[in-house]
Chain A
Amino acid sequence: MHGARIPIWFFIGLLLTIYGAMIFAHGCYEAITGDYAAGVQLTRLHAPIWWGGTLLLLGLVYLAKFRPGKSNERK
């Protein structure tokens, strides 16, 4: 019965994947167009690209590891 449930880590993975993809994509757009939000500091570091990328990777790992139907640790 427990195996059929969706673990919390899957929800977290899903959310991180979506957020990571959105932020990463916007970071790439900013880097390509040079259209940065006014007033934001250190834009040259391209934080949305590496931070969004990190969230995306982490999310994908969690999605794969805790996908429903896979035999997991409890919830």
Chain B
Amino acid sequence: MIDWSGHLASTLPTRLALEATPLAHLRPLDIAVIAIYFAMVLWIGFYLKGQSNTGEEFFLAGREMTAWIAGLSFVSANLGSLELMGWAGSAYQYGILATNWYWIGAIPAMIFLGLVMMPFYYVSKTHSVPGYLDLRYGGEARSVAAIAFATEMILMSGVNMFAMAVVMKVVLGWNINFSIIVSSVAVALYVGLGGLRSAIFNEVLQFVLIWGGALLVPILGLYQAGGWGGLKTRIVTNLHTDSYFHLWRDTGSFAANPMGVHWTGIVFGLGFVISFGYWTTDFLVVQRVLAAHNLRAARMAPIIGSFFKMAIPFIVILPGLLGLVLLQNPDGSRRVLVGEDVTAACSLNSAGQVMDRTACSEAMGRTNLSSAQRAKVLAGGPSAELHTYNQALPLMMVRYLGPGLLGLGITALIAGFMSGMAGNVSAFSTVWAYDIYKPLIYKNGSDSHYVLVGRLSIVIGVIVSIGAAYLVQQFHGIMDYVQALFSIFVAPLLAAILFGMFWKRATRWAGFLGLFLGILFSAGLFVWVKLDPSRLAVVALSPHAKPMAENVFRALWAFCFAAIVIVVVSLFTKPKPVAELDGLVYGATQLPTEEWVPLYKREWFWAAVVGVIFVALNILVW
């Protein structure tokens, strides 16, 4: 899934890892578990085909989903395997600080979507986020958003596909082509047959599998570490610092924390611009909530999702922390994981020897590897394998999960990858059919014609994704650019949506120019830093800033820029009459009265509960 931290690119293992012995060996029972999952997924696709005949059924799952299904699908669409593995690796590197991406980087935005924004999306009866821009601003803004989004989705699907194949190669030793073909055929079949409904069903299924497959790891790990207190003691003893257990305490300066971020960047860049941009305007997730069967369900869905989002660090962050002290080398010493830069510097030649001993030695010198382990790596051979941060979660799985359970854990990872791809292609097909094909290519088709276009676009989208996957395989550097697309696009889109939804004065040209120029500004900033990485200090306002800080500050500046453009252009152009803004803008819309329900069924009540838990958790690990 989309990882706004920008560290996702580093989750792809480099050559050393690809050549190493697989981390796990599956038994027949594990293979059976995986095969049953594929059979179930295809069965669901064929079963749902009969319920996906009209445009509303195919693209919006008939708007029949309950709040629970929409909510689980909403949070699951962001729960890809790369994210699970990447954030477990981040927790290994940075400790609890990584949890910010799950809490302040998600929860406030999810509550805001449910309570404030959802009524406008839902009442306007739009089928997509670009569709809302069309209703609010006009075709220009819609086209920019739709083309950017469709491109991003299809490329991200390819990246997901390739990433899955590489992870399967590293963890299980599977052939890369085999993984790409099997996953893409399965995804094309079940989404092409069942549309969004099928994608949503599989996301809910994936959510259950992830908990069923991964929850045992932190439970057993905590038991072995001697509970939370025991884990703390072990980390402090081994690493001589307690900063791994603090969420905010060390964010007062860029230099005081290993992530190299400042609390202002976390709060305003991550907590506001990136988080609100992703959770409230990215159609990939918003589409799940639009499928809810009524407005109350649509408002409850993100709030239900936020409970689970808050709990995810238990199966992601905790295994990373536990890995710090529990993972062991074959000789019983503490296993130290390293960055991708170290594995790249220590690449092996065909004879199994390190190609550049000097570079490898220098790279290892920047790690906590013991001198004995360094000597082993330089000597080469099978005992010399280095493992990366991003392998923390699979390594912990292999440590605790025996036959059957390991198959379930691996199935959870495969399900995460596949539902990520399914989410990308289902969102792509909706935007392609309704926001690009219909308004720009063929206006007067029948409903069944657009469903056919949607089904075909899924097949074509998967084929293009396969092409993108092989392109990424050939030119690894493309990964950075593909993954930057999201962070470049999200901030201007957020500005266009927020001003459109809450400011009656925002005009057609302001929406279009704010979005278009904002994307150019954001892309320009990205390229500017790419050409000379030292400029990061300018973007993030500190010489101590690390790459992790770049995305959050770039998003912040791009949002400010787009907002200024929207305000200035609006003041010089003519706004729409207020009567035309009904159902689209706060203050110009009469929201439907909802039937009375008891307190425990009200979205405000549960949002307050989420808020209290959110604050308590932040204080608990301050």
**Residues of chain A whose beta carbon lies under 8 Å from any beta carbon of chain B:** 2, 5-6, 8, 11-12, 14-16, 18-19, 22-23, 26-27, 30, 36-37, 39-43, 45, 47-48, 51-52, 55, 73-75
Contact = CB atoms under 8 A, between A and B. Distances in A.
Interface of B: 27, 29, 32-33, 36-37, 40, 44, 47, 51, 64-66, 69, 200-201, 204-205, 208-209, 212, 216, 220, 223-224, 293, 398-405, 408
B486 to A, nearest CB: 28
Contact of A12 (B204, B220, B224, B405): B204
A55 B402 CA distance: 16
Given A19-B33, A52-B404, A41 B212 contact: no
A52 B407 CA distance: 13
A8 B205 contact: yes
B408 to A, nearest CB: 6
Instruction: Tell me if B's interface is mostly helix, strand, loop or mixed.
Output: helix
Contacts of B51: 5
Nearest to B73: A8
22 contacts: A2-B64, A8-B205, A12-B204, A14-B40, A15-B36, A15-B205, A15-B208, A16-B208, A19-B404, A22-B33, A23-B404, A23-B405, A26-B404, A39-B399, A40-B400, A41-B224, A41-B400, A42-B223, A42-B224, A47-B402, A74-B293, A75-B65
B220 A18 contact: no
Given A11-B201, A52-B404, A37 B27 contact: yes
Given A51-B405, A75-B69, A41 B29 contact: no
Contact of B201 (A8, A37, A55): A8
Instruction: Tell me if A's interface is mostly helix, strand, loop or mixed.
Output: helix
A26 B403 CA distance: 8
Contacts of A19: 33, 36, 212, 404, 408
Nearest to B62: A75
Contacts of A45: 220, 223
A30 B402 contact: yes
Contacts of B44: 11
Closest 10 CB pairs of A and B: A23-B404, A37-B402, A40-B402, A26-B404, A8-B201, A74-B66, A12-B208, A8-B204, A42-B220, A41-B399
A41 B220 contact: yes
Given A40-B401, A45-B220, 19 more contacts: A2-B64, A6-B47, A8-B201, A12-B205, A15-B208, A15-B209, A16-B208, A18-B36, A19-B212, A22-B29, A22-B404, A26-B403, A41-B400, A42-B400, A51-B405, A74-B293, A75-B65, A75-B66, A75-B69
B72 to A, nearest CB: 9
Contacts of A18: 36
Interface centre among B27, B69, B208, B224 (most CB of A within 10 A): B208
A23 B205 contact: no
A18 to B, nearest CB: 6
B405 A47 contact: yes
Contacts of A43: 402
Contacts of A73: 66
B399 A40 contact: yes
A12 B68 CA distance: 14
Contact of A37 (B205, B216, B224, B403): B403
B212 A16 contact: yes
Nearest to B326: A41
A13 to B, nearest CB: 10
A14 B224 CA distance: 32
A39 B23 CA distance: 12
Interface centre among A6, A23, A42 (most CB of B within 10 A): A23
B66 to A, nearest CB: 5
Contacts of A36: 402
B331 to A, nearest CB: 14
Contacts of A30: 402
A26 B405 CA distance: 10
Nearest to A23: B404
Given A18-B36, A48-B402, A11 B205 contact: yes
A36 B224 CA distance: 18
Contacts of A52: 404-405
